[in-house]
Structure 1
Amino acid sequence: MELFPAIDLRGGKAVRLVQGDYNQMTVFSDRPEEVALGFKAQGAKNLHVVDLDGAKDAALANFDTIEKLIKTTGLFVEVGGGLRNEASIDKYLSLGAGRVILGTVAVTNYPFVEEMVRKYGDKIAVGVDAKDGFVATHGWLETSEVRGVDFCRRLRDTGVKTVIYTDISRDGKMQGTNLELYKELSQIEGLDIVASGGISSLKEIDILKNEVYGAILGKALYLGAIDLKEALKYSV
């Protein structure tokens, strides 16, 4: 299993939200690149980066910071947040991002996802953020009528290789992730699922390693509930 320590960006700072609520934000660092280099020093090979401003406003608001993260760390960096046109995708891939994550646009303009997958292949991932089982959009501020698990099957059939699936109700709560959900998602053959939201113990990582391709570690790292070096032992 691949582990992805996460850096969420707002105003150039590394922050964490609770259940995607922009009003429940904690700033952890004014220098995100130092956070990323700290992850690398502990053995991380991957990094999950989300431009929260971009997710909300559909603009590459933290582009300069993300460029610094990619160029200074040498990690495999997946980037999401506000990527709703090909120019944005190309901009990040040209920087050296390992893959980009499409979110809102996957629901609002599905033909665009199909086109980008044909053109860029496995460098296109889709972030499926679910609230009460339905896909949320626009930085989690709106909820669609699309069921998350069904949407994942459709993405697989389209040729999407990787889906980052977040149960919003668990995100940032430090109360554990939705293990039953990821067990269900693991049954979708041909789709790499990355578990995201609420992972708060090594025990959960031990369980997930048999269910999913990858897992994102966020708040638990920042609060010290999970030691990254120890967690990475499960990804061997």
Structure 2
Amino acid sequence: MIILPAVDMYEGKAVRLYKGDYDQMTVYDDRPVNTAMKFRDAGAQWIHLVDLQGARDGGTPNMGVAREILEKTGLRAEIGGGIRSMEVIKAYMDAGFSRVILGTAAVTDQELLKEAADLYGPGIAVGADIKDGFVAIKGWKEKSEYTLEDFCERMAALGVGTIICTDVSRDGAMKGTNRQMYKGLTARFSSVDFVASGGVSSIEDVKALRDMGMYGAIIGKAWYTGAIDLKEAIAAAAGTEPGTETGAAAADTEEE
């Protein structure tokens, strides 16, 4: 399993929301590239970027910041937030992003989603943000008609290979991730790589997600508040921390 530390961008700054509420925003870094460099130095291979302004209002107001992060860190990056046209998708892909995440557009414009998936294949992922049992759109401000299961079935049928699934009620709440929800998803949709987002707040969460076969986990507030050490999380996700079977084998090799 891969770990994707997150930078949520708003007005060019790295911020975090509490349960998706724009009125409960904390600014953590006036220059997000500095945070991204810390992720790289801790051993991250991927970074998860979200343009919160774009998610709410459309457009790409933080594209410059996102490109600076990509260029200066050399990390593989996925980005979401306000991506609702082929022009924007192409701009991000041309800039070197590994994955573009469609959220609102995956619900409201599935012709666009199919066109993008046909063109860019695994470079297109979908964000499923779950609020009160339904997929939320437009920066989590509105609920769609899709339940999580219905939406994932539809996405799998369209050939989407990666879904970033967020339990909005746990995002930024530091109360643990929704293990039951993710366990059900991995068991039901074997053709989809699921990334857990929202509430990943301990190494125990990371290990549980790894053991149930999740493709990835996004770590946000838990790192910003110091609750999770990123190096430790990356090792746990890979199964190389002391005490695991892989980790024990590695230790034996080193002793020899």
Interval of TM-score (by shorter of Structure 1 and Structure 2): over 0.9
Counterpart among 213, 216, 219 of residue 214 in structure 1:
216
- Find the counterpart in structure 1 of residue 140 from structure 2: 140
3-state secondary structure, aligned to 2:211: coil
Partner-residue secondary structure (3-state), 1:59: coil
Equivalent position of 1:34 in the other structure: 34
Cα distance in 2 for residues equivalent to 1:193 and 1:210: 13
SS of structure 2 residue aligned to 1:48: strand
Structure 1 segment 13-24 matched on structure 2, within 5 A: 13-24=13-24
2:254 — aligned with what? Answer: none
Q: What is the CA distance between 1:44 and its match in structure 2?
A: 0.5
Deviations 1:7-41 (A, max 9, x none): 00000000000111000000000010010000100
**Residue 106 of structure 1: aligned partner:** 106
Q: SS state of the match for residue 186, structure 1? A: helix
Could you tell me how far apart the structure 2 residues matched to 1:63 and 1:141 are? 22
Matched residue, 2:203:
202
- Write the distance in 1 (CA, Å) between the matches of 2:218 and 2:195: 7
Q: Percent identity?
A: 50
Q: How far apart, in 1, do the equivalents of 2:219 and 2:120 lie?
A: 26
**1:146-176, CA deviations, whole angstroms, 9 ceiling, x for partnerless residues?**
1012211211121101000001011000011
Take 2:235 and 2:102, find their aligned partners in 1: how far apart are those partners?
A: 30
2:57 matched residue in structure 1: 57
CA distance in 1, matches of 2:231, 2:7: 17
| Distance (Å, rounded) in 2 between the aligned partners of 1:140 and 1:69 | 25
Question: SS of 1:91's equivalent?
Answer: helix
* 1:235, distance to aligned residue in structure 2 (A): 2.5
Which one-letter code corresponds to 1:235 in the other structure? A
2:188 pairs with 1:191: no
For 1:14-73, what per-residue CA distance to the aligned partner results, in whole angstroms no more than 9, with x for missing partners? 000011100000000001001000010010000000000000111100011001011001
Q: How far apart are the structure 2 equivalents of 1:154 and 1:5?
A: 28
In structure 2, what residue type is equivalent to 1:207? A
Question: How far off its partner does 1:115 sit?
Answer: 1.3
Q: Take 2:117 and 2:68, find their aligned partners in 1: how far apart are those partners?
A: 26
Aligned pairs for 1:121-200 within 5 A: 121-187=121-187, 188-200=189-201
Contact 2:163 2:192 in 1 (8 A): yes
Deviations 1:81-135 (A, max 9, x none): 0000000000011110011000001111112111111111010000000101100
Aligned to 2:80: 80
Distance in structure 1 (CA, Å) of the matches to 2:176 and 2:76: 26
SS of the residue 2:169 aligns to: helix
CA distance in 2, matches of 1:42, 1:226: 12
2:68 pairs with 1:68: yes
Q: Could you tell me the TM-score, scaled by structure 2's length?
A: 0.91
Q: How many residues in Structure 1 have an aligned counterpart in Structure 2? A: 236
Structure 1 distance, partners of 2:15, 2:210, is 26
Give the structure-1-normalised TM-score.
0.99
For 2:105, give the aligned amino acid.
V
For residue 43 of structure 1, what is the aligned residue in structure 2? 43
Q: Answer yes or no: is the 8 Å Cα contact 2:207–2:237 preserved in 1.
A: no
Runs (4+) of structure 1 moved beyond 4 Å?
none
3-state SS, counterpart of residue 200 of structure 1: coil
Gaps of 5+ in 2: 239-256
Compute the RMSD of aligned alpha carbons: 0.7
